[in-house]
Amino acid sequence: MNVLLRRSFLLASLIVLGTALFQTFGAAPDPASRPNIVVILADDMGLGDVSGLNPKSAWQTPAIDRLIREGRAFTDAHSASGVCSPSRYTLLTGRYSWRGRLKSGVLHGYDPSLIETNRLTLPGFLRQQGYATAMVGKWHLGLDWVRTGTKVDEVDFAKPFSGGPTVHGFDRFFGISASLDMPPYVYLQQDRSTSVPNERIASSPGMRMWREGWIGPDFRHEEVHPRFRQEALDWIRERAHPADRKPFFLYLPLASPHTPILPTEGFAGRTRTTAYGDFVAQVDATVGDLLGALDRQGIATNTIVVFTTDNGFAPVADMAALRRLGHDPTGGYRGHKADLFEGGHRVPFIARWPGRIAPGSRCDRTVGHVDLIATFAELLRAPLPPDAAEDSVSLLPQLLKGDSGRGGRESLVHQSSNGSFAIRQGRWKLLFTPDSGGWSLPKPGSPESKLLPALQLYDLASDPTESINVWQEHPKEVDRLGRRMASLVVNGRTTPGPSQPIRWPAEWLQLRPLEPWGASVETRQRVIDAAVGAATERGWRAVDTIVGEPVLENGRWQIGLERRPPTPGGHARVTVSGEGKVLRYQGGK
Ligand SMILES: [Ca+2]
């Protein structure tokens, strides 16, 4: 199959589709009437850390609570992963990160860029739609530094890097490379470091943890949060009433309340709980300052504000001390950061749009960060190309109309820090691992985990704390969810549309539990070859054959074929067994 030919065909189809949509909806809205969009992403903060979502919270979060009063809180919302980098990749691309290079873990401050060249991102899409786009904060998606040696931190800080936010859709960027506990400790502006580090800082212990490494002369860890706050406020002031009349998109991924836990003066000691509680209060105050700035500029009613967090509460912030205060940072759910259990990825997710989103409303539909890009695409009536945002399902109906709205996603995939998978569908959640997949008990590879069943099935409706594994009682649910997960993997996408390629290493350990349902790269290629071979026997030229989305169902693969250029009768539907035997051929010759 010729990928270039396929792509140009898809582009042509897209233009036709875009024209059709344009005709259906009429003229696109005036750019000046499009809402500004602010996405605030806190780092390592649990559902129970927001007082408006946890009546027993040991501290108050008045600004986030204001968003809840004035907007809609999603109570079953998820980051794509229990850890930072994959979570951020998915939020910005609308694609599950495990389809790309990173199969487990996170990046570090010197790792190369993770988002693929030419992949359409949320800011890139909004820029195409006439938005001014800015990011302030923690990137943690890799940068391509100019290297001066073979050691990991031998880079030329005086030279610009590539693969950063400005090549992935942001007009403006101010921030840091990765977590605030990972070197290099330098501020980044556009595609450069603001200073060249001339010394190394020793590691720091405990809740003030950071790793040893290069630090710039203008960098102090405790100043980072206040600096991000100021940069974000400056952007809002600058873009509130711009001469170019472009709406703005501000992405503010804070590095807080992640380690090092460094509440500054005025916040240290404020909550009379722990340093973590004080740091959460500082995050909340920054949210409040941003809301105040929108109010003062008179743009609150034309601005969508989303507040969420990149993963659940991190145990380094001393869960035991918080529990002694009666505070449960996970809001009653099992596990914490890094896990497949709900505590790893069920996160606060609140959206406010005065006049459009009902104030004080809640929605209990399952949604994810992955859905943001499709949501804004539907809002702006701008279709996404078939090779972008493959896993993003618009939650606009849930956002604007609530639970009774149409659509919504039928399932959602979770991933833990070690790359293990779970799939959620309605009340059911199937974990493809015997353990937490992360840092809580039972730990991956531990002796006790080896005695446990290889799969975990939980009924979240009756057992929201994931305490009773019911996989033996519900074999049909296990099989149904296993098939669904396998099909999501091999199709390369969640949404309707042509199958998309994924990075599939020769050994992908976390997929082994899916082998009974046929999720292996060899199987996928074998059945596609068989289908194309069957068409070739009927006179098709393989180079002109476009393979649609292969669907795996009951051990049989359904594969749609299309001739290029499109001709009458130039469609076929082929049913192939996992062994590559053509079972049925319907359609054109
Ligand atoms: Ca995080």
- Domains of the chain, CATH where assigned: 36-133+232-409 (3.40.720.10), 413-491 (3.30.1120.10), 521-587 (3.10.450)
Average pLDDT taken over every residue of the chain: 91
pLDDT tens, residue by residue, 4-58: 333 444 444 444 444 444 333 434 445 446 999 999 999 999 999 999 999 999 9
d(CA 341, CA 460): 11
| Token pair of 220 as six digits | 């102090």
How much distance in Å is there from the Cα of 418 to the middle of ligand 1? Answer: 15
Among 123, 120, 79, 83, which Cα is nearest to 103's? 83
Least confident range of 22-26, 447-451, 467-471, 531-535: 22-26
Residue 4 CB neighbour total at 10 angstroms: 7
pLDDT tens, residue by residue, 209-252: 999 999 999 999 999 999 999 999 999 999 999 999 999 999 99
Could you tell me if 344 and 330 are in contact, meaning their C-beta atoms sit under 8 angstroms apart? no
Q: Is the pLDDT of residue 357 over 60?
A: yes
> Which DSSP string corresponds to 138-151?
E--S--BPPBSSSS
Average pLDDT on 263-272 reads 97
Average pLDDT on 517-546 reads 83
How much distance in Å is there from the Cα of 200 to the middle of ligand 1? Answer: 25
Q: Is the pLDDT of residue 490 over 90?
A: no
Q: What pLDDT, on a 0 to 100 scale, did the predictor assign at position 526? A: 87
> Which DSSP string corresponds to 296-313?
HTT-GGGEEEEEEESSS-
How much distance in Å is there from the Cα of 201 to the middle of ligand 1? Answer: 23
Q: What pLDDT, on a 0 to 100 scale, did the predictor assign at position 31? A: 44
- Strands (DSSP E) contained in 377-514 are 412-415, 421-425, 428-431, 456-459
CA distances (Å), origin 246, targets 35, 78, 385, 501, 570: 10, 31, 23, 35, 44
d(CA 248, CA 369): 20
How much distance in Å is there from the Cα of 44 to the middle of ligand 1? Answer: 4
How much distance in Å is there from the Cα of 43 to the middle of ligand 1? Answer: 4
How much distance in Å is there from the Cα of 382 to the middle of ligand 1? Answer: 31
How much distance in Å is there from the Cα of 84 to the middle of ligand 1? Answer: 4
Q: Who contacts 417 (Cβ-Cβ below 8 Å, separation ≥6)? A: 81, 82, 83, 104, 105, 106, 338, 339, 437, 438, 439
Q: Is the pLDDT of residue 584 over 50?
A: yes
Q: Who contacts 24 (Cβ-Cβ below 8 Å, separation ≥6)? A: none
d(CA 98, CA 96): 6
Alpha-carbon torsion, ordered 48, 50, 51, 52, to 10 deg:
-110
Could you tell me if 308 and 41 are in contact, meaning their C-beta atoms sit under 8 angstroms apart? yes
Phi first, then psi, for residue 477 (nearest 5°) are -65, -40
Average pLDDT on 277-288 reads 98
Q: Who contacts 200 (Cβ-Cβ below 8 Å, separation ≥6)? A: 212, 213, 214, 215
How much distance in Å is there from the Cα of 579 to the middle of ligand 1? Answer: 42
Among 316, 249, 451, which Cα is nearest to 43's? 316
Residue 357 CB neighbour total at 10 angstroms: 20
Q: What pLDDT, on a 0 to 100 scale, did the predictor assign at position 403? A: 60
pLDDT tens, residue by residue, 101-141: 999 999 999 999 999 999 999 999 999 999 999 999 999 99
pLDDT tens, residue by residue, 404-430: 556 689 999 999 999 999 999 999 999
How much distance in Å is there from the Cα of 97 to the middle of ligand 1? Answer: 15
Q: Kindly tell me the sign of the dihedral angle through the C-alpha atoms of 475, 464, 371, 118.
A: negative
Least confident range of 122-131, 162-171, 197-206, 513-522: 513-522
pTM: 0.89
Q: What pLDDT, on a 0 to 100 scale, did the predictor assign at position 589? A: 65
How much distance in Å is there from the Cα of 531 to the middle of ligand 1? Answer: 43
